[in-house]
Every structure is written in structure tokens, then in C-alpha cells.
Amino acid sequence: MPRNVLAILAIILLIPSVVAARTAPFSSSATSAAPTAYNEFTVARLQTEMAAGRLTSVQLTQFYLDRISALDQAGPNVNSVIELNPDALQLAQDADNRRAKGKVIGPLDGIPVLLKDNIDTGDKMQTTAGSLALMGKPALHDSTVAANLRAAGAVILGKTNLSEWANFRSFFSTSGWSGRGGLTHNPYSTDRNACGSSSGSAAAAASNFTAVSLGSETDGSIVCPANVNAVVGIKPTIGIVSRGGVVPISHTQDTVGPHARTVADAVATLNAIVSRTPDSRDPATSGVPLGWQGTGRTRPALPADYSVFLDPNGLKGAKVGVTRQGIDNAPPQVVAAFDNAIAQIRGAGATVVDLDASFTFAPADGEFLILLYDFKIDVQKYFATRVGVPMANKTLADAIAFNDAHAASEMPYFFQEIFQFAQSMDTSGPDPANNPQPAFGGMSYNEALRIDHDAGAKGIDAAMSQFGIDAVVAPTDSPGWTTDLIMSDHFVFASSTLSAAPGYPIIQVPAANVLGMPMGISFLGTAFSEPTLIKLASGFEAVAHARTQPTFTGNITTANTNGTNLQPPAPPKRVPGRPHRL
């Protein structure tokens, strides 16, 4: 969901599997004891190792389990994984058995994958969106993406922690915290934030706790965590990946997408999860996103293999438009990192157009109304798919009441203003989409949709047409900030809303290291432009080589914050005196 929902509100209104705390002090010996043999191995290289008989899927799965045990659940306590799949090693053995018989399903066969804890798996694992309100009986069926992963032979390793309810509960939330899973930490400096809402998915991929992972995004929740954790994040066009069996915010903006350490790995994962034919569980898989609706533009056939668009020379001859999206309000080191990335793009043979000099993106001023309205309806539909959990066949009002009744565990730091706001939306009557919403000055849902349609048509689409560019390039987000559960998140700039409202794709790629913390850039395009974005993103990755492995330090700034070494004053000299009252 929008990590910058406070800014959105200001614009519009002017206004038992709970993870126990692990507080043992961290020793660097824990990091050194963690296995590293397959760190940074790509999916292709892992497949090569397995094909040569030097590695099995069981060994690889155990490798990731051992790293999770040493670094996620102990040591630096990244806390990115909320639950492990008790069947993971058996799934890996099944893959090895297939391989022994000469059958390999595809690039993800035998490859461990972690899923965000809002993606249903019809197995022994919970799907809770981080909330105790969905704890109990596991989902009855796989989500479409989980089923697609199984069909591709992937080993579903476990579930990752997230911002509870995908960061759509409170205006004062802290990214990466959930009532069920606690707080996910940034592995580059564990006092800093992993962003959200797909915090655990990105932190786990960055930390080599999995080969690849899946997150979800409504506005920034794949690309922001990717940005602060030095991984690639692909937020696909709305409708190319089914949302069937995913805890929703909004059918207008939600999508599932991969986190991976390379563009190629992210693309391999995308290949496995896309719906190339309509999915009955998600009407969007047969249509076009909001930005294309009413334009006469139709859904194209999706590529059989997105990996053919990977190109280390993908920037040569390209033309991109740059928008800075508020980065100039950031510290000079951050600004310089973005400027250097643009220089690298230009140096790789691309023409760079300054969009901010003469173009203004149409604002997505309908977004928050749309999300609130959708959530009230969509989450109730999801609750109807669950049994044996507190919210089974319940409503948003019931979720609000549950949080009130369990405030000590669900609301120790922040409350549920967004839930209450969504509940206040008028969805009654025969034509609810045209009901005036008083909190938005009488704007209706349909009016908000028209505004956000224009955010695409008069935003990215207009820029691409006017300047003849292949894509828009922007800073993704600021480097990770110090986590603050009292004062909530601290955002300086972001670019995801340019694509979020109209439903367009983004690929975020690591671009820099700012004082020890990662930072990335985003390639944004119109609907179904993933082939072009993959070409550009892989071209940038080839020249930037910006990803570094995390160090799991507790505080990246400690070297310059310790202060002086105080010397205590010497004790006073004793002066001999006459004995007193012997």
C-alpha cells in the first residue's frame, strides 16, 4: 500500500505463531558462522550446479534454512521470515526425484521461494497479512500465484513478515511491523527500516535467505523495500499477475511481484507467476488497467518468455525521460547518487530527457478514496474465502472490533485510523460508485477513477508520447531511515504513485550505496511495457553493478557517533594528618 499515505491524506483532506522477541545480544561470530557457500548465486547458476550433480534442491533448501536460523531468527535477528513451510524439504526432495528421472520442469524447478504472508497457500502454513485476526485454519486453497509456483516446480520455503494489512491500517504505522510477526529489520543496518509493506520479502532476498521471493504492491510496497535492501523489484502491470487468493487492499491497484538479487532472477520468477490466460479468480487478468480503460487500447498477448528481453546493452540507443520526484529535498549525498546513476545511463548510450523542465505529471488525487472504497468491499470478499479464523465470513467492521478487543497485541504502537476511515465510506444503495463521499468533498468513487485514469493518460502516457521516450526514470525512494515505532515512518521522496494509480509497471534496480545504505532507481512505463523495462533495467544493472551484500551491522553510523574517550580525573592526593581520638 502507499507507504506515503500521510502525504496523500494531507493532499486530499488537509488533515500461535506470534514471533517472540529475540533480545540476545548480537555477536559478529553469528554472522561468520552462517553458511555462505551459495550466497549471491543466481537462479541460472543454481540450476547449472544441480544439473552437474554438485548441488541438490534438498541441500540448497537446507542452506537457506541454516542461514535463516543463524541470521534471521538469531544473531542480528533480521526477522524477515514469519513462518517456515514444514513441507519445504519434502518439496525439495520431490524436485530432486524429478531431476533424477531426467525431468526438469523449468528454471524454478527445485528453487526455494519465500512468499509474503498475504499470499494464500493451501498447505500447513498460515496466511494472515500479519494480523492475529486471520490466524487459525490455513487458507483452503493456493492463491493463483502459489499454484503457478508449484506448477513451475518451485520449493515454497515459507512466508515473510510484512507491514500489517500491507500498511493500510494506520496513518502512523511503522513499515515492517505486524502484530503477528513483530518488526523486520534492514540487514544493512538493523536499526534502520526495511520499508514496506513487503519488508520481509526484500530483506530475505537481500540476506540470501532464499533464491527469490514474492511481495505485493498497491503503491510502492515492492519497489520501496527493494530500494532500501539492494534488490531488484518488479511491480507488474495490474492484471498480468492474478490476485486470486491474495489479501487485498484494492482490486484497482494491487499486484504481486518478485524480489530478487538480479534482474534475470526477478524475470525468471515473473515468468512463472504471470497469467497468460484469464484467471476466473481475477477479472483483471482479461482486461487492461485503469490508465488504459476507455482509450480503445486492448490487452496484448503476454510474452511466452520475458527473459528474451534481458540485454546487458539494453540502454544503448534508448531514450528515457528523467523526473526527480522531490529528491532535491534530500541530503547532497543522496542527490549525488541519483545524478551519478543518470550519468551512467547516459554513458551507456541512452539519450536522457529532463521531463521536469517542461512537463507536469497529472496528479493521482483520486487514489486514497479509491483505496478506501475498494478495501471496505474487497477485504470482505476475501474474508468470505476463509474458515476457522476470527475474520471468516466477517466484515471490516468486525476487523476493527477485533483490533479493539486485542489492542495490546495488535495496537501497541499505532491504531487503525485508515480502517475506520474505510468503514465510513458510503457503499450503500443501488449505485454506490456514484455516492458522494463527504470526507472527500462529495467526490464519488467513479469521479476518483476518472481522475486516476488521467494520472496515467496525462502522466506517463503523455510524457512517452510527447517526448518519444521508451520509459520514465526516477529515484525510487530515500535510503533506509532509522526505525521509529513512536513517531512512525520518515519518507523524503518517492516515485511509485506515478505508476500506482493507473496500474502501470515499475522495475526498481540497485543504483548506489549512500553512507553504507542502498538506494535504487526505477524504470516506469505504460501498461504491458515490461519487455522494454526489462531491457532497460538489465542494461542499467550491467553498467552500475551496485548491489552489495548486507553486513548485518547493528548501526551503520556508529563509527562516527561514539564520541570522545573520557578520562576520569585522578583521585586527590592524601595529606597526612594528626590521628583523631585514638
The C-alpha atoms of residue 184 and residue 544 are separated, in whole angstroms, by 28
Per-residue pLDDT of the chain (582 residues; tens, 9 = 90+): 544 443 443 333 333 333 334 444 455 666 778 999 999 999 999 999 999 999 999 999 999 999 999 999 999 999 999 999 999 999 999 999 999 999 999 999 999 999 999 999 999 999 999 999 999 999 999 999 999 999 999 999 999 999 999 999 999 999 999 999 999 999 999 999 999 999 999 999 999 999 999 999 999 999 999 999 999 999 999 999 999 999 999 999 999 999 999 999 999 999 999 999 999 999 999 999 999 999 999 999 999 999 999 999 999 999 999 999 999 999 999 999 999 999 999 999 999 999 999 999 999 999 999 999 999 999 999 999 999 999 999 999 999 999 999 999 999 999 999 999 999 999 999 999 999 999 999 999 999 999 999 999 999 999 999 999 999 999 999 999 999 999 999 999 999 999 999 999 999 999 999 999 999 999 999 999 999 999 999 999 999 999 999 999 999 998 888 889 999 999 998 877 666 565
Q: How far is CA 169 from the centre of its chain?
A: 17
The C-alpha atoms of residue 408 and residue 440 are separated, in whole angstroms, by 32
Let me know if residue 562 belongs to a domain.
no
Closest by Cα among 228, 172, 219 to 200: 228
What count of Cα atoms within 13 Å lies in the side-chain half-sphere of residue 111? 32
The C-alpha atoms of residue 228 and residue 222 are separated, in whole angstroms, by 11
Residue 3: predicted pLDDT: 46
Number of domains in the chain: 1
Name the maximum alpha-carbon separation found in the chain: 110
Residue 477: predicted pLDDT: 98
The three grid cell numbers given for residue 15, joined into one nine-digit string: 488533515
Backbone CA torsion sign across 255, 330, 518, 510: positive
- Helices and strands counted in the chain (H then E): 18, 13
Residues designated as active site: 116, 197, 221
The answer, yes or no, to whether the previous bond of 197 is cis (omega within 30 of 0) is: yes
Residue 1: predicted pLDDT: 56
Residue 575: predicted pLDDT: 72
Let me know if residue 567 belongs to a domain.
no
Let me know if residue 88 belongs to a domain.
yes
Let me know if residue 459 belongs to a domain.
yes
Residue 381: predicted pLDDT: 98
3-state SS string for 235-250 = ECCCCCECCCCECCCC
Looking up residue 311, the CATH number of its domain turns out to be: 3.90.1300.10
Query: By 3-state DSSP, what share of the chain in percent is helix, strand and coil, each rounded to 5?
Result: 35, 15, 50
Let me know if residue 565 belongs to a domain.
no
DSSP string, 373-410: HHHHHHHHHHHTT--SSTTTT--HHHHHHHHHHTHHHH
Let me know if residue 570 belongs to a domain.
no
Residue 28: predicted pLDDT: 66
Let me know if residue 561 belongs to a domain.
no
Residue range of the domain that includes 270: 5-554
Let me know if residue 334 belongs to a domain.
yes
What count of Cα atoms within 13 Å lies in the side-chain half-sphere of residue 114? 34
Residue 559: predicted pLDDT: 83
| ∠ CA 318-260-42, rounded to 5° | 95
